[in-house]
């Protein structure tokens, strides 16, 4: 569950073509020999572990090259260690062929936060330094033409983020205050009792001299800071402050401006509303930022204010969607951003003088803008769709033609993939139009009914987008039709729709989902006798709710679900988020509302075979939520399987666990929907089948 204006949980792990010595890159060697009618390979869980995840493109100051990050699963064959995901730095010519991309870093440690030095001679990034037990992320440099990186910073508590000053001589660091000698002594002695809601590790701002390694603390106080940016002249810094590092306080963010020489600080604008993502105009005279009238459900708008202060001006007046991170044009006349629009992520531009917004991309895809080159002519970002994982693109500022300059998953051309399209239907609750994404099974021709899976997204303030989903493609390869409904409460349709599920969990959204199921049956696509449902987080809640409300499905698998909203409130790390949906009240002041929307209230209705999945270390939806649902079904003799995953939090990170979850879906639904898996090794299917209820 649940994110602040975020998308759904997507697990996409990739493999680079080059691995460090002694390490094996994930491959499809375990894949089945199953093929499509046209003879192409089918996409199974082994292939899903090969998927490349591309992110963070950064264009060089001269515009000639783009640095970016990719992640892959690797294993030390000599030690037979567990698979893990490692992120490395890659480079590609900005105007070159994808085949020219080269891997720049290697080894067991992941890199992040990639930046170019202002003169383009260096690349900088964060990477762990020190012994494995005490390793902390530090800033490293390497030459832009390649070679071995070297460690630059030695901040005792590690570095969370950084940025070069405009002259390249100073790094602006975001980092926690180092522990005192007494605190370190107590930690070594395991005298480490934790007082809840006290002793937070607040992040502060520091400068670090590249020449002398001298550091200086810029901010102090009872706030934690992030998202720091130099002004073009290097005299000031913008940053965002939150009261604590708790996720529950993320919506209480405030943008600030700091004078580096004097240390004086002021709010960017005088308001009690959340403000964030402050970005300097190229001439340093203006600052664009994001703001909203309140947390979570309120529209995120784009504003601009004079850098010296004053009254802000709203730029997104006629825009109904949530604005994304501002990116200035080099002439300062426009601000660009990416935003969810139904099932797509699109790029928009705002004319600063006229305060008018226009859409620049219309692809049925996910297009995310990262940067604009120093000469103002080239934009870079990532672009993917339902059958193409995201890759780096380049474009001019008209965005009429996006050109992929990387192709990290070229091997996918050998595989048959399920096609996806947007579908729409009327909700049985009130007739409102609902839309979603349907992914069709490989070789589907629409002439016969097939097994069907409903897959509600997490959030609920999220949305299913037309991005590459390994989960949906695995299901498509195994013959399933999958519907991902963007029910009321989803992002991408404006504030009114996003807030339409307040005090209504399990009612309107449930009817939106079930109406979508019926629409797929009415099309003659979904076999009404072979219906299943699975979901994670709020999708786990929704599938638990479905489990208690209808026996129409043959099998249901809730993951990281929350069946008891009263106990969930105290267990989760996002209490304030929950109150937004329940009259801004805690459950002890609003008991009936929380209980009426809890699946546990209706647990006596459950008859459907159920498979519950949950991470043992989940802090968002702690594992007692799953324990409640499982125990009730077990003692009531409902067919139930309950699988927990050690060390996993709300979003899984260990590749073996990620794969196990996919395979259990296939085996579980394969039994109850009479659709045995075709992409997985027989030994695995036989082993997992023994656990089925």
**Residue 292 belongs to a domain:** no
Q: Output the average pLDDT for the chain.
A: 92
Tell me: the pLDDT tens digits for 147-169?
999 999 999 899 999 999 999 99
Could you tell me which residues come within 8 angstroms of residue 599 by beta carbon, excluding any fewer than 6 positions away?
506, 541, 544, 545, 547, 548, 561, 563, 564, 629
Identify the domain containing residue 500 by its residue range: 418-689
In this prediction, residue 192 carries a pLDDT of 83
Please indicate whether residue 251 or residue 384 has the higher confidence score (pLDDT): 384
DSSP 546: H
Query: In whole angstroms, what is the distance from residue 348 CA to residue 327 CA?
Result: 10
Helix (H) or strand (E) holding 561: none
Q: 667 lies in a domain?
A: yes
Residue 564 lies in a domain: yes
Query: What is the average per-residue pLDDT within 358-369?
Result: 94
Count of domains in the chain? Answer: 2
Which of 388, 416, 444 represents a domain boundary (last residue)? 416
Compute the average pLDDT of residues 193-204.
86
Distance between CA 189 and CA 183 in Å, rounded? 10
The predicted structure's pLDDT at residue 248: 86
Calculate mean pLDDT across residues 540-546: 98
Does residue 287 sit within a domain? no
Q: What is the mean pLDDT of residues 113-141?
A: 93
Which pLDDT score, from 0 to 100, does residue 158 have? 93
Percent helix, strand and coil across the chain, each to the nearest 5 = 20, 35, 50
Binning pLDDT at 50, 70 and 90, where does residue 9 land?
very low
- The pLDDT tens digits for 267-288 are 999 999 999 999 999 999 999 9
681/666 Cα distance (integer angstroms): 12
β-pairing verdict for 161-164 and 170-176: antiparallel
pLDDT of residue 269: 97
Give yes or no for a contact between 59 and 93, defined as CB atoms under 8 angstroms apart.
no
- Whole-number pLDDT of residue 122: 97
Please check whether residue 69 lies inside any domain of the structure: yes
| Among candidate residues 364, 399, 416, the one where a domain is terminated | 416
CA 555, CA 530: separation in Å to the nearest integer? 9
- Domain edge (last residue) among 397, 416, 435: 416
Can you give the pLDDT at residue 1? Answer: 55
Secondary structure (H, E, C), 487-507: CCCCCCCCHHHHCCCCCCCCC
According to the 3-state scheme, what is the secondary structure of 169-230? CEEEEEEECCCCHHHHHHHHCCCCCCCCCCCCCCEEEEEEECCCCCEEECCCCCCEEEEEEE
Phi, psi of 514 (to 5 degrees): -65, -30
- The whole-number pLDDT of residue 79 equals 54
Angle formed by the axes of helices 682-689 and 655-672, to 10°? 70
pLDDT classification of 391: cutoffs 50, 70, 90: very high
Confidence of residue 191 (pLDDT cuts 50, 70, 90): confident
Q: How confident is the model at residue 186 (pLDDT cuts 50, 70, 90)?
A: confident
**CB-based contacts of 679, cutoff 8 Å, min separation 6:** 31, 32, 34, 42, 43, 44, 45, 46, 474, 477, 478, 666
Residue 356 located in a structural domain: no
Query: Is residue 145 a contact partner of residue 123, using CB atoms and an 8 Å limit?
Result: no
**314 vs 317: CA distance, rounded Å:** 6
**The pLDDT value given to residue 25:** 38
Q: How far is Cα 408 from Cα 392, in angstroms, rounded to an integer? A: 9
Residue whose tokens read 């679900």: 561
In which band, very low, low, confident or very high, does the pLDDT at 195 lie, cut at 50, 70 and 90? Answer: confident
SS3 category, 538: helix
CA 679-685-686 angle, 5° bins? 150
The model's pLDDT over 642-677, given as tens digits with 9 standing for 90+, comes to 999 999 999 999 999 999 999 999 999 999 999 999
* pLDDT at 439 > cutoff 50: yes
Length in residues, the chain: 693
DSSP sequence for 247-260 = GGGTTS-EEEEEET
Percent of the chain with pLDDT over 90: 84
Please give the pLDDT value at position 460: 96
φ/ψ of 591, rounded to 5, equals: -55, -50
Per-residue confidence at 245, pLDDT binned at 50, 70, 90? confident
Q: What is the mean pLDDT of residues 293-315?
A: 93
Q: Is residue 274 part of a domain?
A: no
Residue 468 has pLDDT above 80, yes or no: yes
pLDDT digits (tens, 9 = 90+) for 607-651: 999 999 999 999 999 999 999 999 999 999 999 999 999 999 999
Instruction: Give the pLDDT confidence score for residue 19 in this predicted structure.
Output: 29
pLDDT number for residue 196? 86
**Residue 353: helix, strand or coil by DSSP?**
coil
Please spell the DSSP secondary structure of 371-403, one letter per residue. EE-TTSS-EEEEEEETTEEEEEEEE-TT-SS-E
For residues 86 and 73, what is the distance between their CA atoms, to the nearest angstrom? 6
What confidence score (pLDDT) does residue 75 get?
A: 72
Which CATH number goes with the domain that contains 454?
A: 3.40.50.1820
Asked if residue 214 belongs to a domain, the reply is: no
CA distance 3 to 210: 37
Element (H, E) at 423: strand 420-426
């Amino acid at each position: 569950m649940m994110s602040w204006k975020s998308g759904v949980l997507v697990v996409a792990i990739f493999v680079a073509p080059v691995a460090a010595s002694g390490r094996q890159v994930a491959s499809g060697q375990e894949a089945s020999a199953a093929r499509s009618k046209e003879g192409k390979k089918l996409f199974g869980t082994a292939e899903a572990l090969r998927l490349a995840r591309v992110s963070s493109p950064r264009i060089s100051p001269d515009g000639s090259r783009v640095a970016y990050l990719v992640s892959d699963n690797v294993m030390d064959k000599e030690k037979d260690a567990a698979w893990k995901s490692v992120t490395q730095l890659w480079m590609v010519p900005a105007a070159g062929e994808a085949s020219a991309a080269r891997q720049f870093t290697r080894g067991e440690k992941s890199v992040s936060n990639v930046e170019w030095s202002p003169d383009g001679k260096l690349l900088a990034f964060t990477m762990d330094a020190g012994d494995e037990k005490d390793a902390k992320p530090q800033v490293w440099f390497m030459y832009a033409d390649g070679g071995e990186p070297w460690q630059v910073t030695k901040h005792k508590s590690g570095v969370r983020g950084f940025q070069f000053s405009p002259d390249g001589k100073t790094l602006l660091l975001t980092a926690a205050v180092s522990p005192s000698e007494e605190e370190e002594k107590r930690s070594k002695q395991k005298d480490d009792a934790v007082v809840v809601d006290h002793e937070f590790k607040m992040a502060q701002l520091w400068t670090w001299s590249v020449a002398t390694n001298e550091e200086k603390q810029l901010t102090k106080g009872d706030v934690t800071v992030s998202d720091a940016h130099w002004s073009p002249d290097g005299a000031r810094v913008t940053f965002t402050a939150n009261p604590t590092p708790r996720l529950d306080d993320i919506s209480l963010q405030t943008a600030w401006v700091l004078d580096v020489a004097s240390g004086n600080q002021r709010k960017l604008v005088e308001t009690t509303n959340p403000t964030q993502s402050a970005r300097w105009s190229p001439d340093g005279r203006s600052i664009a930022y994001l703001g909203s009238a309140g947390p979570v459900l309120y529209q995120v708008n784009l504003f601009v204010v004079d850098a010296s202060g004053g009254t802000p001006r709203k730029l997104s007046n006629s825009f109904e969607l949530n604005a994304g991170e501002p990116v200035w044009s080099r002439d300062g006349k426009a601000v660009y951003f990416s935003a969810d629009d139904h099932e797509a992520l699109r790029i928009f531009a705002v004319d600063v003088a006229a305060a008018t917004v226009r859409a620049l991309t219309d692809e049925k895809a996910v297009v995310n803008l990262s940067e604009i080159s120093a000469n103002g002519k080239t934009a870079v970002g990532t672009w993917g769709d339902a059958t193409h994982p995201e890759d780096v693109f380049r474009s001019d500022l008209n965005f009429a033609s996006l050109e992929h300059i990387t192709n990290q998953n070229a091997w996918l051309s050998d595989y048959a993939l399920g096609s996806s399209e947007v579908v729409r239907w009327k909700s049985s609750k009130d007739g409102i139009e609902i839309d979603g994404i349907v992914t069709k099974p490989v070789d589907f021709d629409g002439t016969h009914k097939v097994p069907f899976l409903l897959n509600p997204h997490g959030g609920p303030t999220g949305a299913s987008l037309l991005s590459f989903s390994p989960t949906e493609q695995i299901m498509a390869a195994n013959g399933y039709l999958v519907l991902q409904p963007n029910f009321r409460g989803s992002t991408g349709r404006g504030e009114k729709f996003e807030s339409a599920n307040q005090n209504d969990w399990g009612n309107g959204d449930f009817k939106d989902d079930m109406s979508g199921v019926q629409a797929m049956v009415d099309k003659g696509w979904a076999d009404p006798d072979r219906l299943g449902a699975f979901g994670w987080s709020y999708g786990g809640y929704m599938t638990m709710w479905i489990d208690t409300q209808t026996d129409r499905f043959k099998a249901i698998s809730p993951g990281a679900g929350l069946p008891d909203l009263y106990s969930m409130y105290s267990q989760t790390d996002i209490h304030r988020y929950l109150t937004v949906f329940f009259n801004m009240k805690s459950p002890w002041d609003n008991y009936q509302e929380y209980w009426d929307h809890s699946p546990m209230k209706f647990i006596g209705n459950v008859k459907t075979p159920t498979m519950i999945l949950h991470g043992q270390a989940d802090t968002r939806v702690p594992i007692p939520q799953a324990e409640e649902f499982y125990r009730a079904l077990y003692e009531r003799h409902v067919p139930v399987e309950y699988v927990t995953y050690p060390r996993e939090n709300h979003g899984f990170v260990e590749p073996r666990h990620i794969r196990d979850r996919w395979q259990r879906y296939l085996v579980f639904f394969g039994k109850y929907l009479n659709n045995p898996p075709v992409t997985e090794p027989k030994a695995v299917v036989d082993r997992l089948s023994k656990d089925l209820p």
